[in-house]
Amino acid sequence: MSLLFEKTKEVLRTLLPVFIIVLLLCFTIVDVEADVLTRFIVGSIMLLIGLAIFLCGVDLSMHPIGDHMSTEMATSKTPLKIAFLSFLLGFLITVAEPDLLILGNQIEEASGGTLSALVIVYMVSIGVGTMIAFGVFRLLGDKPSFSIFMAITYGVIFILVPFVAEEFLAISFDASGATTGALTTPFVLAISLGLSKMKGGKSAEENSFGLVGVMSAGPILAVMLMSIISGQKNIQGEASEYIMAEGVFGPIIHIFPEILFESLIALLPIVILFFIYNFAKFKIPNDELWGIVKGLILTLMGLTIFLTAVNSGFMDMGRIIGIEIGKMSPWILVALGFVFGLIVVLVEPAVHVLGEQIEEVTSGHIPIGLIRGTLSIGVGIAIALSMLRIVVPEVKLWYFLIPGFLIAVLLSFKSDPVFVGIAYDAGGVASGPMTATFVLAFAQGAATIVDTADVLVDGFGVIAMVAMAPVFSIMILGTVFRHKRIEIPAIAKKAVVSSHLVEEVNLDHVCIMAIVNRGLADKAVDVARQSGAKGATIMRGRGTAEHDRVMLPLLHLELQPEKEIVWFITATHVSAPIANSLLNDPLLNQDGEITVFISPTEAMVRSFTAMNSSNTTKG
């Protein structure tokens, strides 16, 4: 019950700001029928209950399933098996993603049935499965680097853009954002974290992120290729007339059985696959298996209630507000879009999931508040620009998307490596249930009432903008984080030779502590073993030396680059050779900025600035 209570509080933080803004608008400037308002309130309560139960079920079921499946992938001996399992997992989990199901229905409705929701969902899921397979191979092989991999991927996308109609361009990027929702995000994050832990190595931290960003490119490529291969340049069809349902509970009761059946069909494939693997390989204990089964039941219940609430009242309100504000003033529409963006991203459930993983993997190295603040500003601007597209017909979607992603790709080569994966992942998690439901309906409502707007071209694309903004903004943050170093005057140094290492003759063992920059702990262990060390313990910490400080401009926020601390317990007679071998290794000196301490005798420090033949220490 404690987990359910925590999830309820989390979703309440998600829903409450939007709920309050909507009520304020309804009681001031937006005219809404009483039954629609009542159904929105009932739908909001159902959405709160449904999403809380759904997220609780995901924690109990999808996280452990993701862990077991990632272990199976990492230990597979044949590339074909890895590729097949990666594709299958990506495909099956995306088919069940509620945000994508909602988007598919909205596309079918907006295109007058020309584009089937089922076709969109399955094509997008194929794209996701394919990209996850590529992403898993890259992670396990560590080649090419993540920055190069994503540069190649988006390079292909940029090449395809001129051959794709505007309608398909908006839908392809929207589908990208919709695939990374409340179900797929925790599942794929669990897979990437499990794979990075299994693989280990100096890139383990960077490999914990990025797979969500990789899968986000799959839908873009899939929808673009669908347009090019089919030869369909434009979507022929008119949006069906929007008819507001009447009553409060009637629409909810009417749609519930259909949603339950769709949710069951969506979840069934991934459940069947897991139980087949459990029967054949995992052999999970009954207690753990029963916990997963309870989680799956909760996931089904929550998904059904959530989708019922969204389709029976929540999106109706978003559309009505878009229509009413569009009638009043285009600039109020832009301003309101900015406000929605500031709030929505901060309360998306998947953003909190990513934040928890960032905190866990980096040991608090990257402040979560800084990430969330950056996301909030970026998404606020993105939704405001999406509203600008609706009111100014000359402004096109690709004016923002192509330069935004292009600059982000270029910055990925300058940014701190761990920020690259976080940035691409954040682009996916920012576009969650609130964006796929309320914000998209708000944009489509505005596009239907503005004379110069096209619902298929301008009504879509808002999820795409929300997905692009975090990649762009966090890549800038990562670049500042890496390069904004504070220079201080050089400190006087004095020479120290190995004879200065005084041994305590009454001790058989001493402790050697080596501090290096992130990613070089394994190298330090290898060097020490060659000089007589038997083993080591590796810990993470933050740099505290004055020259390691990073000050972010304007925010006046101090960040400390992460360090790795390696502990050796060695015999006293080999402590000096081990320490000297660590200090004399060129890589550890130049890239690692190594510092070595021997306890209980004397501290030996070598600064990366002292690149000469003798050992040095700061005076």
Whether 525 and 533 have beta carbons less than 8 Å apart is answered as: yes
Q: Where are the beta strands (DSSP E) in 320-472?
A: none
The CA angle 169-173-177, to the nearest 5 degrees, is 165
Average pLDDT over every residue of 236-261: 70
Sorted by sequence, the CB contacts under 8 Å of residue 459 that are 6+ apart come out as 110, 390, 443, 444, 446, 447, 448, 453
Residue scoring higher pLDDT (267 or 618) = 267
What is the C-alpha separation between 183 and 180, in angstroms, rounded? Answer: 8
The structure tokens listed for 16 are 């409450």
pLDDT at 420: 81
Long-range contacts of 548-551 (CB under 8 A, 24+ apart): 548/485, 549/485, 549/486, 550/481, 550/484, 550/485, 550/486, 551/484, 551/486
The pLDDT of residue 362 is above 80: no
Task: Kindly tell me if the per-residue pLDDT of 325 is higher than 60.
Answer: yes
The per-residue pLDDT for 234 is 60
Q: Tell me what pLDDT residue 244 has.
A: 60
Residue 245 vs residue 261, higher pLDDT: 261
Single-letter code of the amino acid located at 322? G
The letter for the amino acid at 568 is F
**Which of 141-155, 456-470, 504-518 is predicted least confidently?**
504-518
Mean pLDDT score across all residues of the chain: 76
Whether residue 486 has pLDDT greater than 70 = no
Looking at residues 323-340, what average pLDDT do you find?
Answer: 86
Separation of alpha carbons 23 and 18, rounded Å: 9
Closest to 524 measured CA to CA, from 466, 581, 604: 581
Averaged pLDDT for residues 350-377: 69
Between CA 603 and CA 598 the distance in angstroms is 6
Amino acid present at 404? G
Tens of pLDDT, residue by residue over 198-215, are: 666 556 666 667 787 788
Pick the closest to residue 325 from 337, 316, 313 (CA basis). Answer: 337
Distances (CA, A) of 295 to 154, 292, 317, 480: 37, 5, 31, 41
Position 562 pLDDT exceeds 80: no
**pLDDT at site 343:** 79
Give me the helices (H) in 142-249, please.
Answer: 146-160, 166-178, 184-199, 204-207, 211-230
The Cα 309–Cα 538 span in angstroms is 49
Spatial separation of the C-alpha atoms in residues 299 and 98, rounded to whole Å = 11
Mean pLDDT of 119-135: 88
Is the CB of residue 174 less than 8 Å from the CB of residue 460?
yes
For 552, phi then psi, to 5°, come to: -85, 130
Domain range summary for the chain, segments of one domain joined by +? 2-235+244-483, 493-618
| pLDDT of 225 over the 80 cut | yes
Q: What is the pLDDT of residues 410-442, one digit of tens each?
A: 888 888 777 787 777 777 777 766 676 778 888
In sequence order, what are the residues at sequence separation of 6 or more whose Cβ sits closer than 8 angstroms to the Cβ of residue 6? Answer: none
The band of 4, judged by pLDDT with boundaries at 50, 70 and 90, is: confident
Mean pLDDT of 570-574: 79
Check: CB of residue 4 under 8 Å from CB of residue 53.
yes
- State the Cα–Cα distance between residues 616 and 619, nearest whole angstrom: 9
Q: For helices 349-362 and 2-26, what crossing angle results, to 10°?
A: 130
Token duo for residue 369: 């508040």
More confident residue, 328 or 199: 328
H or E element at residue 294: helix 286-309
Residue 79 has pLDDT above 50, yes or no: yes
Cβ neighbors of 44 (< 8 A, separation 6 or more) are 15, 19, 309, 313, 314
Burial tier of 300 (Cβ tally within 10 Å: 0-12, 13-18, 19+): buried
Please give the pLDDT value at position 261: 84
Q: What would the mean pLDDT of 362-376 be, rounded to a whole number?
A: 71
Rounded Cα distance between 548 and 543, Å, is 6
Taken in order 22, 23, 27, 32, is the CA torsion positive or negative?
Answer: positive
One-letter amino acid identity for 92? L
User: What residue ranges in 441-552 does DSSP mark as E strands?
Assistant: 493-495, 509-517, 537-542, 550-552
Q: Confidence band (pLDDT; 50, 70, 90) for 587?
A: confident
pLDDT at 553: 44
| Higher-confidence position of 191 and 549 | 191
- What is the per-residue pLDDT for 297? 92
The two structure tokens encoding residue 219: 């839908």
- The domain defined by 493-618 folds into Alpha-Beta Plaits (3.30.70)
DSSP state of 375: H
Let me know: does 518 contact 562? Beta carbons within 8 Å: yes
Residue for token pair 């708000």: 442
| pLDDT band with cut points at 50, 70 and 90 for residue 594 | confident
Supply the pLDDT for residue 497: 43
Whether pLDDT at 476 is above 60: yes
* pLDDT score of 606: 42
The pLDDT assigned to 242 comes to: 55
- Is the separation of the CB atoms in 604 and 496 below 8 Å? yes
- What secondary structure letter does DSSP report for 485? B
Q: Tokens standing for 324?
A: 């009413």
Q: What percent of the chain has pLDDT over 70?
A: 78
User: Among candidates 442, 455, 446, 461, which has minimal Cα distance to 398?
Assistant: 461
